[in-house]
Structure formats: C-alpha cells, structure tokens
Amino acid sequence: MTKTFTRSAGRAANQLRPVRITRNYTVHAEGSVLIEFGATKVLCTASVEERVPPHKRGSGEGWVTAEYGMLPRATHTRGDREAAKGKQSGRTQEIQRLIGRSLRAVFDLALLGERTITLDCDVLQADGGTRTAAITGAFVAARDAVDRLLADGRIAASPIKDAVAAISVGLVDGVPLLDLEYIEDSACDTDMNVVMTGAGGFVELQGTAEGVVFTRDEMSALLDLADKGIGELLELQKQA
Amino acid sequence: MTKTFTRSAGRAANQLRPVRITRNYTVHAEGSVLIEFGATKVLCTASVEERVPPHKRGSGEGWVTAEYGMLPRATHTRGDREAAKGKQSGRTQEIQRLIGRSLRAVFDLALLGERTITLDCDVLQADGGTRTAAITGAFVAARDAVDRLLADGRIAASPIKDAVAAISVGLVDGVPLLDLEYIEDSACDTDMNVVMTGAGGFVELQGTAEGVVFTRDEMSALLDLADKGIGELLELQKQA
Amino acid sequence: MTKTFTRSAGRAANQLRPVRITRNYTVHAEGSVLIEFGATKVLCTASVEERVPPHKRGSGEGWVTAEYGMLPRATHTRGDREAAKGKQSGRTQEIQRLIGRSLRAVFDLALLGERTITLDCDVLQADGGTRTAAITGAFVAARDAVDRLLADGRIAASPIKDAVAAISVGLVDGVPLLDLEYIEDSACDTDMNVVMTGAGGFVELQGTAEGVVFTRDEMSALLDLADKGIGELLELQKQA
Amino acid sequence: MTKTFTRSAGRAANQLRPVRITRNYTVHAEGSVLIEFGATKVLCTASVEERVPPHKRGSGEGWVTAEYGMLPRATHTRGDREAAKGKQSGRTQEIQRLIGRSLRAVFDLALLGERTITLDCDVLQADGGTRTAAITGAFVAARDAVDRLLADGRIAASPIKDAVAAISVGLVDGVPLLDLEYIEDSACDTDMNVVMTGAGGFVELQGTAEGVVFTRDEMSALLDLADKGIGELLELQKQA
Amino acid sequence: MTKTFTRSAGRAANQLRPVRITRNYTVHAEGSVLIEFGATKVLCTASVEERVPPHKRGSGEGWVTAEYGMLPRATHTRGDREAAKGKQSGRTQEIQRLIGRSLRAVFDLALLGERTITLDCDVLQADGGTRTAAITGAFVAARDAVDRLLADGRIAASPIKDAVAAISVGLVDGVPLLDLEYIEDSACDTDMNVVMTGAGGFVELQGTAEGVVFTRDEMSALLDLADKGIGELLELQKQA
Amino acid sequence: MTKTFTRSAGRAANQLRPVRITRNYTVHAEGSVLIEFGATKVLCTASVEERVPPHKRGSGEGWVTAEYGMLPRATHTRGDREAAKGKQSGRTQEIQRLIGRSLRAVFDLALLGERTITLDCDVLQADGGTRTAAITGAFVAARDAVDRLLADGRIAASPIKDAVAAISVGLVDGVPLLDLEYIEDSACDTDMNVVMTGAGGFVELQGTAEGVVFTRDEMSALLDLADKGIGELLELQKQA
C-alpha cells in the first residue's frame, strides 16, 4: 500500500495517540479514572450500589451498566445540553449501550452478587474516539471498584474474567489508520470501532462506511491495526 | 466443522428462511412493501416530502431517513407502546439510525434534489432479524418511490446508485448460522448484522459477542455466510 | 328525502363498505384480528396479562383496556410518529378511551378474574371509520382471547355478556350516510359514532356538528342507519 | 314514570342547580367569567392574540381554541397537578377539545380576522358538570372579548353567529335527571353531555353507558331534559 | 431621604396594599384561603394525606410541601399553560420550593406524624408579590388544616411552632418601597423577598439587584420596611 | 463570640478553603476555567455564539446566560443523571438562573452586541459551595471570552463593567463560618449565598434558615464574613 496521509504531530498510520490514564481523579467514586487519547479526555467513574434493576432481582446476580455524556462545550462548537433538552440523543444511547455490553462481556455477574456497578463516562474534551476511550477507561475504573469490594470483604472472588479495551480504526483516502482523531474521523470513508478482550477475542465490532463501501481486504487490514492498538492499550491498563 | 444444531423446519445452517416481498401492500405511500423473513413481518413504507431537514436546506441535496417501530404485540409477550411511554427506546433509535445510514449509502443525495424520503419500518410480527428485514424491504420501497418520482418527471435521473440488503448471522453452540430466528438469536454466542451493496461492498457490520467472545476465523465464516445470504436477497429484491 | 350524494363504487347511502374480518392475523397474541371496512385496515390484538392496574389490585376483578395507534403513513400524507414526538395526540387518547369503555361495557370484570386484556388497535391503512372498525375488530380479538382462557381452564365461565360493534354515520349535504369513508368524513356536516350491543342497547353515542348544527329529526335518521349497520356488523362478527 | 330518586336540596329531576354567572371576575383578560352550577365553579377567561396557529396563517381567518384545567384540590381528594406530572390527562384533552369545537360552532372565523381567541377554563371547585359549565361560561367570556374588539374598532361585525350552551343529563336508577352533580354522576347508568345553540340545533352529543346500556326511548327522555335545561341556560347567558 | 416616587392609589412608601384573607374559599380542602394583596389574588389550599414521600417513610415524621401555579391569564398577556407545555418553568419551581421551605420552618414534623400537608398556591390574578402572598396565605390554610386534624383527634398537639409571613420590598429610583406591585417590580433596581416568623426571626431572604447593585445601608432600610410589613401581615393572619 | 466549631484541616472560621483557578483547562471553548474551592471542582466554560434568544432579536443587545450540571458521581452517593431522567431538577434550575443573573449584573449587553455568551458550569467533584465556585469561575471564563472577542476585533470595547464573585456563609451551632464545605452545609442552621461586585455592591443575597431562624445581628456577622471572603476571591480572579 503506497498511499499516504499526513497525520498531525507526525503520527504514523499504525500509531496510537499518547494515552494517559489517571486513577483516583475524583474522590467520591469507588473507581475514578481520567483517560486521555491525545486531546480526547473522558472521566470514567465506577459507582457501586447494593441493588439491581428489576430483571435481576432475586437472581443472585449483579449488573454492570454504563451512562455516557458529553459536556456541552467538549466539542468545537457548543452542543445542546441533553438535560436541558429533556432527552438523550440516539447517538448517546447507542454509545452507552455499547459501553455497558463491552464491560459486561468480561464480568461474571454471579460472582458480583446482587449489586450494580454503574460506569459514568463523561467527555470533558472531545477529539475523536470518545467511545473507545470510555470503554478503555471504564474498565480501569471498574477494576478499582472491584478491588475495593474485595478489600472490604464484600465479595470473595473477583468477578472480572478478563481485561477489555477498545480502539477506532478507519480508512482515510484509502489508508488504514489507527485511533482516529476528530479531523480524520470527519474525513474517513470507513470508521470501525473494535472492542477486544485480553485474551484476544472480539467483543464488539462496528464498522460503518461513510460514502465509500469497504471490502473484506480493507476490513482485514483494519482489524490488524485494531489488534495492534488494543494490545498496547491492554498493556497501558495494566501499568495504570 | 463437525458441530450440528437442529434448526426449525429442517433449515440448513446456511439457508435463509422463506422470504416474501409484497409490493403495494398499502395504498397511500409512494412505496409500500411487506417483507417477510419466515415469521418476521415488517411493513416498510417510503414517503416523499418536498422539504429537507435544516442541515440540508439550500444545499440542493435531499435526505433519506428512517423510523422504526414495533407493534406492542408483535412479540411473544406484549411490550410497552413507545408512544404511550413518551419515548423511543435506545434499541429503537439504534435500529432506525442503522436503517437510515444503510439506505443513504446507496443514494446520491444531489440527484434526489431538495426532498426527503422517509422510510417507516413497522414490525407487525417479530421472530428475529427485524432490522435486516427492514433494511432489505425499505430498499424496495425506496426504489418504488424513486420510480414514481421518475415517472412524474420530478427527477431526471435515479439517485439510487446500487442495491442494498442486510442479513443477520450468528454462532449458536459454535455453529455459524445464517438468518437467525428469535429462538436462535436468544441462544447465540455471537450475533452479527451485515449490510452489503449489490456490488458486494460492506456498508455496515455490527457484531456483538453475547457471553463468549469470537475469533477472527469465526468472523470469517460468518461473513462468508452473510455474503451468500445477501446475494440471494439482492436477487429476490430484483424479482420483486 | 330527495337529496342525493354519489358515493364511490356505487354504494347506497345505507350500505356498509365491504367488511372483512381475518382472525389469527398474527401469531403471538391471544387474539389477533385484521378488520377491513373498505380501504380502512386495523390490526386488533388482544393480549392477556396476569396482573391488573393499581385501582383493581385485590378487588378480585379484572380490567379491559385499549391502546390505539396509526402507522405514520397509514394516511394520505405522512403524519408524525407519536413515539418520536414523545406524546400521543388528544385524538389518539380520545379514541383509545372510547374503545376501552366500549369493550368494558360487555365484560363482567369479576368473571374475568384479576387479569388484564389489552386491546391494541393499530391502523395499517386509513380511509375513515378507524375507531369504529377498531371497536368492531377488538371485540372479535377479545372473544378469541377469552376462548383461549376458557380452553386453558384459566376461567370457568365467559366474562363476555354480549357482543359490541360500532359504526359511523353522518350527514353529507343533508343526506344521511352509513359508514363514512375519508372523503365523506371530510365533507360531512355532522359525524356520529355509534356503539351498540348485540341486544340493541347504546353503549356510546358521539355526534359532532361540523359547520352546520343538526336537528333531532336528523339525529333520528342517523340512528336508524346506525342501527341497521351495526346489526350487519354483529352478524359478520358471528360468522368470523 | 313512577321511579323516584331524591336529589340533594330537594331538587326536582328536571331542575338545574342554581346557576350564577359573574362577569369581569378577573381584570386582565378580554373576557373573564366565573360560572357556578351549584358547587361547581369554573373560571373562564377569553384572551385575544393577534396571531393564528400555522394551519390558519395567511387564510384571512381566525381561530378559537380552549384549554381546560382543574386545580389540584378542586376535588374531594387531591389530584396530581398536571404541570408537575408533565402531561395533560386524556380526560383533560378530551374536554378541552370539546369546548373548542363547541365554541367554534358559533363563530364565523372569517369575520374574526387573523386573530386567536383562547378560552381558558379552570375549575376552582368541582361537583359534576365541569365541562358543561365551562362551555356555557366560555361563551359569555368569548362574547365579552368580541364586544371589546368591536368597541375598539378592531373588527367591523361580530363573528358570533349564535349562542351556545351545554348541560349534562343522565339516568340514575333509571330516572332521567338534569344537570348531574358529582354524587349523581358517580351513581348514574348513563351520562350524556349535550351542547346546543340558541337556535336549538345540536353541536355535540356525547352519551356513555356506565354499566347498563340505554335505549332510544331513554335517550329521547334525556334529550327532552337537556333541551329544557339549555333553554334556561341560554336565558341566563343573555341576562348576564 | 428626599427622593419620591408616586405610588398608585396614593399609597405611602411604607404602606401595604389592602390585604384580604378569605377562609373556606373552596369546600373540599382541609384549609382553603383566598389571599389578596391589592389586585394580586392567590388561592391557597392545604390538603392532608395519610402518607409521606419516600425519604420520610418509617421516620415517624410528616412532611409539608408546596406547589405553585399561575392560571394562564392571571397576567397582563396570556402565558403558556405549564400542563400543556409539559413542564414547570424554573421560576415556578423556585417559588414552590421557597413556599415549602418557609412553611416547614414553623412546623414540628414529628408532631405532625407520618402524614403530608400539601399547600397548593394558585394565582388567579397577578399584580406583583404572588410568592409572598402565597406564603402568607398558605400559612393560614395550613393552620386551618391542622385545626381540623386536632378537632378530629388525629393529632394530639399542634405541630405549628410559630406563624410565618412574607413580603416583598424593593428600591425604585433609589426609594425603598414596601409590597411592590407589578409596575413597581418591573421598574425596581433591587427586589427583595423576606420571610419572617411571628417571633421576628428570618426564615428566607432573597435579594436581587436588577441593573444597579445595592449597598448594605440600602439593605438595612429594606429590612426595616419588611419588618414593619410582616408585623402587619402577622396581625392580619391572626384576625382571619 | 466565644463559641467554637472545629473545621477540617484546622481552618479558621473566617478562612476560605484553598482556591485554585486554572485557565484554559479545555481547548475548544472561548473561555475555560477549572475552579477549585477545596475539594469542590467546577469546570466553567464560556461559549460565544453569534445569535441571541428571541426576546433580544433586533435589539442590538446581546445576552449572557448559564447552564449548570453535576456529574452523577460528583457527590458522595451517585445521583441520577438529569439527561437520562429527562428533566433538570428544581435545584439545578435555581442555580443556573442565579449564575446567569449574577453574570448579567456586570455586563453591558449593548456593548456585547447581538451575540450570546453561554456559561456552562459543570461540577466534577462536589464538597459544598458549587454555586458560588461556579459564579466566581464563570466570571473568569467570561472575561477570557471577552478578551478573545476584543483581540479578534469583533467588539470595540469590553462589555464587562465590573468583576463579580460569590461565597457562601453560614451559622453552624451558632458560629458564623465562611465558605462552607459539605459537612458544614449539612449541619448548618443558616446558609447564605452572597454575590458581590468588585465595587462592593450586592448582586444577590440568598439566606435560608434550616431549622433555626436567624436574627439581624447574625445576618450582619455573616455579611461581614462574606465581604471579607469575596474581597479575597476578587483578588484571586485578578491574579488568575
């Protein structure tokens, strides 16, 4: 592949943006992580509550769920505040459902017991990849919350079966790129979000063609990139 | 692969359910199609309006969008009526956004001119695969609406660049199956919805692991199945 | 009366449109009826649930209620989807309350026991008379649901005391017409919806003057028409 | 008819409750009337605004509409405040639509010109018959507002074509009663609201059987009563 | 202070408008008071219910809360009906929270027992000072409701510890005025609402500069005025 | 006054918590300030838009408004996300109205021209005093936004007439304290929020007795404290 696309800050096509994971960013939550993918900053908190939603009551199992939000001026131009509009957008709901499913994929809900972990992922600053940063950061916050439950003796064994992380990949002018920033995301032909576990299996895969459809070969190249990126993120999660 | 899974009605793993496409199912809409994937029945209507949403005003371009709904008793047990609850669920919004993106992928919005085609996909009876049936049927309804615009001389050339169809595939007990019905969907480890064009490119790809993660080989097998199924659907669309 | 008004399809002033009642139109509901009054098509399902609303809890009595909806393109021009707008219109609420009262009029709620029958009446195609078709079809769906409860031994005796059906009548250019279709409904001076039981009593009577008020003699002529029409509908219900 | 039913305050079966119409009850509205049917008290204000809803813009015609509300403690036990619940009940919407249609029946909207008269009917105290009191009082408020428009020279001729008033009638233990109060309304087998013009024509007729269906003879007796009552109300409106 | 400002009806700067308190204005509520501050008329009802909100359940304590509303045409130009808009404005919520806190300040919730008193304050006519009239009137309604509880033997001792009343004061063209009417409120530089008890302590103090900030000396003058006005109101409450 | 109350971290009764003002905390907004009052952290962004709300259109004047929110886990226990609930609480609306009024008090809207500055104040971590921190931080963000407008030549002269800052004061066990943290706020008898300008005038004053009423002497002591605290905040704003 001889095509080129110049990325900002001289980044290579298969290179992540600088990733920073700050634990204990706020003090009240059982887990609180600020995760930064370049200029994208998402605050992920994990809150433990001793109750479960109706469909889990009496089941002996717990629940893991997520909510997602974006501060009105996290973006280039101010967006409406969803609380003031009185409803969450379809995009917001899609993302928070994705985060919830991704986290539940690595949880043994029976070991969690009848309690709920809620992962609040709030975007303080957006520059592409907010949902993948959210999943990657939420896992660290969830792990901190579980560690506290273990330390407190409220659970005997960790309900976390594996790690989980996510990254976006995309085709811009036909070039496969890892970890799209906003300007690349806007320009891309195909945008794919990939969620994988520590063991290397896929949890979620969402690819969307914007304008130009993609082929199986292109998808294969994108998955190679994603695999590499997620491997690096899983390592950064461990170090955090 | 030696695993087996017995499907209802003796269906083979790589076999679609009987598909029926009934055009002109209702009389008022510019396009009106009842599509059936086995026991799943979705009424897809295409409505043409001579106005566009704010972000397209004055652009010379049109818009294609979709709305999705399910009658309260389309399912085994009665679900709440979304109009009575006062909001659409996250699932509903996800699906209608997916249908809209899929249809726009094969439209040249400039050739459509400043008008909107709204695809209403209402599920009369559900047995798995409602979103893929909706996309496949909505394309036929959209084509009928475009044909009427052409016949009326309101547009000079068709804005439809290619056909589009969709199918679900999944792994049940490790066996890749084409076109999941409800009981298979509930039991599956991985559920993947694939949207492709007549030319064979991917428009959307959404895979979700439920319980057990999936590998790249499994994904490859699923895509082979989807490719086969969509080829057959595209043929049925042409015949309709 | 020497005035004349030419109806479509050479229909006489006192003639119903062709009525078709299709039972078991969908498979999941305990009762499922597609009723057609000419081009008006309403899908009526009866769902049985083993719980009652708060005002009936502990009373030993059941409840019968109805919900009504119209697919966005059931009509000549597309209407807003109520689920997307986030509320049901006043018209929708009026109609569903009318259907519920009409059905309860022929039910012995004590014999039903503490369970609820919900009648969902969804208009697939509208050409006038949707509320009267809905009541007439909902009764057949309710009867099917009750028959299933009896067959299952969940109730010992039928809670249905009598049949119920409904028809619209109106004055168009001073001529009393039975079973108005849309074009007549739009043009009429008076529109009256009449709900009667098998024994011939009135359950509901709603007459509205649009433009020109109506006299007692006119009302008498309209009630004669309604009586005749409902007699025929009750017969069709029995045959169905 | 030899049946008897003892009414409170020794009222005869065909007797209205004491009716009081107080004009200029509040100072800001163009028309402001407190109407009392016995213990039922409804404040009806008519507000004139120099704009019309979208469907009348540019038509040269005006609009007349109504809104209805009940103070939370207008009733025996406190009801929820609709503003706090975030929506108007189906009952509220039914009533305000009825009031609006009833008033429009006596208005020539072309003579009104492109302006809107909004009739706000707020129940301060309820004891049955709030909707009929509201219609009867709203007409007086509307007339006062029209008189002010005429006095100000904003319209040249009155758009009011006739008077309009309303009363409830019902069968209690088989006895036809005029102007039901709350305790009678709760006990009645049939409840009918009748709206008539000064010329004696029907504008609206809404009869509902509660428990026992009604016959044509019973309806005839009820309409005789209503006719008498409305005649008296029209006289009281003139005196007011 | 040599500045002057001519008030309507020759009112002195430190003079209340004529205040009228009418008890038992409506019949259903346990307490029902129409309070008038000049042309401002607020209907305050106190409703007793034998249940408490969740945060008080099982506590042995009761709750006192308030709701506030304004009839659409209580004002010079018609305002939107909050029930029709589907939400209460921020102003409405601010005011009803203020009324609730003010009343709770003089209640011993333990002596009330596990029951709720809801104070509904509905403005029939507005001319400034609706929130202060509401607090002053609501106290009288609450006292009547408590007296009834005592008379019925449902409580043994009165939970009311002291009286409470409220008045507005403001600076108009630099002149401190007591009990602002609408025209003064619109013109004032500073508007302050003061809530005090019978014993002379402050419950609430809310001062807002509109345009020109205020000094401590000005505030002192305003508090003197408020103190005088509230003293008179407390006396009027006693007489009522 | 000899009473004592031991504050955390050995803080004196008249001492502010450590205050930190971080400008340019996020990159997209025209002004972006993280303000910390001890453990309370509020992100205040100022967004400039070239349009005004309806009531200012064509007036030549601009508008300054504020929105307030709290991340769900900013607090000790997780609160509901307002966007998910579909409405802002009364408390949220009260606070954002207060912030908006406070900022407008120091703005010359004519000099701003027909544009809007929206101040989004989002609480990342709460420990009492979020509204006063928000006002104090929002002023700095607004100043940065205005400086950018000046630098860009979009306005000729600064519309900011004076500085504005806010602090809370309260009586805890009878002791007047400056800048209450959460534990003090929960325990206090009186809580007062004071907003003042650089010139020392009052913009807003909101005092609430919780349990025990307060006297004029106590208020005087509280205002002395507030005056001192706001003086220090104004100095910190200048340094920032």
Chain D positions in Cβ-Cβ contact with residue C99 (cut-off 8 Å): none
How high does pLDDT run on average in chain E? Answer: 95
Cross-strand partners of E29? none
d(CA F32, CA F24): 5
d(CA F56, CA F54): 5
Chain D positions in Cβ-Cβ contact with residue E82 (cut-off 8 Å): 83
- D174 to chain C, any CB pair closer than 8 A? The answer is no
Q: Tell me, what's the pLDDT at B2?
A: 45
Q: Tell me, what's the pLDDT at C131?
A: 98
Q: Which of C154, C146, C149, C62 is nearest to C110 (CA)?
A: C62
- Would you call A41 and F49 a contact, using CB atoms and an 8 Å cutoff? no
Element (DSSP H or E) covering residue D53 = none
Element (DSSP H or E) covering residue B127 = none
Please tell me the distance in Å from D28's CA to the nearest CA on chain E. 5
Helix %, strand %, coil % of chain C (to 5): 35, 30, 35
How high does pLDDT run on average in chain B? Answer: 95
- The structure tokens listed for A73 are 């001026």
Q: Region E135-144: what's the mean pLDDT? A: 98
Chain E positions in Cβ-Cβ contact with residue D45 (cut-off 8 Å): 71-73
Chain A positions in Cβ-Cβ contact with residue F31 (cut-off 8 Å): none
Summarised one tens digit per residue, pLDDT across range A176-194 is: 999 999 999 988 889 999 9
- Would you call D73 and E47 a contact, using CB atoms and an 8 Å cutoff? yes
Of B26, B83, B125, the CB nearest to C28: B125
Q: Tell me, what's the pLDDT at E3?
A: 54
Summarised one tens digit per residue, pLDDT across range C27-36 is: 999 999 999 9
Q: Tell me, what's the pLDDT at C34?
A: 98
d(CA A209, CA F134): 43
The DSSP 8-state label assigned to residue E214 in this structure reads B
- E158 to chain D, any CB pair closer than 8 A? The answer is no
Buried b (16+ CB within 10 A) or exposed e, D201-236: bbbbbbbbbbeebbeeebbebbbebbbbbbebbbeb
- The structure tokens listed for E187 are 């013109």
DSSP 3-state of C168: strand
| Per-residue confidence band for D2, with pLDDT thresholds at 50, 70 and 90 | very low
Chain E positions in Cβ-Cβ contact with residue D38 (cut-off 8 Å): none
Which chains border A (3 or more CB–CB pairs < 8 Å)?
Answer: B, F
Residues 92-121 of C with CB under 8 A from B: 92, 118, 120
Q: Is E132 annotated as a binding residue?
A: no
Q: Region D64-69: what's the mean pLDDT? A: 98
To the nearest whole percent, how much of chain B has pLDDT over 90? Answer: 91
Summarised one tens digit per residue, pLDDT across range E11-68 is: 999 999 999 999 999 999 999 999 999 999 999 999 999 999 999 999 999 999 999 9
- B202 to chain A, any CB pair closer than 8 A? The answer is yes
d(CA C165, CA F52): 56
* Annotated binding-site ranges of C for phosphate: 91, 129-131
Which of A95, A131, A205, A224 is the best substitution to test chain B (most B C-beta atoms within 10 A)? A205
- Would you call E209 and F94 a contact, using CB atoms and an 8 Å cutoff? no
Tens of each residue's pLDDT in chain A, 240 residues: 445 668 988 899 999 999 999 999 999 999 999 999 999 999 999 999 999 999 999 999 999 999 999 999 999 999 999 999 999 999 999 999 999 999 999 999 999 999 999 999 999 999 999 999 999 999 999 999 999 999 999 999 999 999 999 999 999 988 999 999 999 998 888 999 999 999 999 999 999 998 789 999 999 999 999 999 999 999 999 998
Which of C8, C33, C73 is the best substitution to test chain B (most B C-beta atoms within 10 A)? C73
The DSSP 8-state label assigned to residue A59 in this structure reads S
- Would you call C84 and B67 a contact, using CB atoms and an 8 Å cutoff? yes
The DSSP 8-state label assigned to residue D78 in this structure reads P
* CB contact set of B17 (below 8 Å; sequence gap of 6+): B11, B37, B38, B39, B40, B129, B179, B181
Q: Is A154 annotated as a binding residue?
A: no
Which chains border F (3 or more CB–CB pairs < 8 Å)?
Answer: A, E
Summarised one tens digit per residue, pLDDT across range B87-97 is: 999 999 999 99
Of A39, A69, A126, the CB nearest to F83: A69
Q: Tell me, what's the pLDDT at D1?
A: 41
Tens of each residue's pLDDT in chain C, 240 residues: 445 668 988 899 999 999 999 999 999 999 999 999 999 999 999 999 999 999 999 999 999 999 999 999 999 999 999 999 999 999 999 999 999 999 999 999 999 999 999 999 999 999 999 999 999 999 999 999 999 999 999 999 999 999 999 999 999 988 999 999 999 998 888 999 999 999 999 999 999 998 789 999 999 999 999 999 999 999 999 998
What ipTM does the predicted assembly reach? 0.94
Chain A positions in Cβ-Cβ contact with residue F73 (cut-off 8 Å): 26, 28-29, 32, 45, 47, 120
- Would you call F208 and E203 a contact, using CB atoms and an 8 Å cutoff? yes
Chain D positions in Cβ-Cβ contact with residue E117 (cut-off 8 Å): none
Question: Mind spelling out the 3-state secondary structure of chain F?
Answer: CCCCCCCHHHCCCCCCCCEEEEECCCCCCCEEEEEEECCEEEEEEEEEECCCCHHHCCCCCCEEEEEEEECCCCCCCCCCCHHHHCCCCHHHHHHHHHHHHHHHCCECHHHHCCCEEEEEEEEEECCCCHHHHHHHHHHHHHHHHHHHHHHCCCCCCCCECCCEEEEEEEEECCEEEECCCHHHHHHCCEEEEEEEECCCCEEEEEEEECCCCECHHHHHHHHHHHHHHHHHHHHHHHHC
Quote the Cα angle for C16-B43-C193, to 5°.
30
d(CA B61, CA B155): 12
Summarised one tens digit per residue, pLDDT across range D87-97 is: 999 999 999 99
- Would you call A27 and F41 a contact, using CB atoms and an 8 Å cutoff? no
Q: Tell me, what's the pLDDT at C173?
A: 87
Dihedral in degrees, nearest 10, Cα atoms E135, E136, E138, E141: 170
Please tell me the distance in Å from B240's CA to the nearest CA on chain C. 21
d(CA C215, CA A230): 79
Q: Is the pLDDT of residue E1 over 60?
A: no
| Per-residue confidence band for B174, with pLDDT thresholds at 50, 70 and 90 | confident
- A223 to chain B, any CB pair closer than 8 A? The answer is yes
* CB contact set of E55 (below 8 Å; sequence gap of 6+): none
| Distance in Å from the first CA to the final CA of chain F | 35
Summarised one tens digit per residue, pLDDT across range D182-208 is: 999 988 889 999 999 999 999 999 999
Q: Tell me, what's the pLDDT at E80?
A: 95
CB atoms within 10 A of CB D199: 12
The DSSP 8-state label assigned to residue A220 in this structure reads H
- Would you call D202 and C209 a contact, using CB atoms and an 8 Å cutoff? yes
To the nearest whole percent, how much of chain A has pLDDT over 90? Answer: 91
Q: Tell me, what's the pLDDT at F4?
A: 61
Q: Is the pLDDT of residue E170 over 90?
A: yes
Amino acid at site B200: G
- B205 to chain A, any CB pair closer than 8 A? The answer is yes
Phi, psi at E18, each rounded to 5°: -55, 130
CB atoms within 10 A of CB C16: 19
- The structure tokens listed for A200 are 């290397």
Of A43, A83, A125, the CB nearest to F124: A43
Q: Is the pLDDT of residue B173 over 90?
A: no
Q: Which of A178, A185, A188, A165 is nearest to A224 (CA)?
A: A178
DSSP 3-state of B193: strand
Of C201, C206, C213, the CB nearest to D213: C201
- Would you call F202 and E223 a contact, using CB atoms and an 8 Å cutoff? no
Q: Tell me, what's the pLDDT at C1?
A: 41
Which chains border B (3 or more CB–CB pairs < 8 Å)?
Answer: A, C
d(CA E47, CA E38): 26
Residues (pLDDT < 50) of chain F are 1-2
d(CA F46, CA D94): 46
N residues, chain A: 240
Alpha carbon of E111 to those of B152, E9, E57, E60: distances in Å? 79, 45, 15, 9
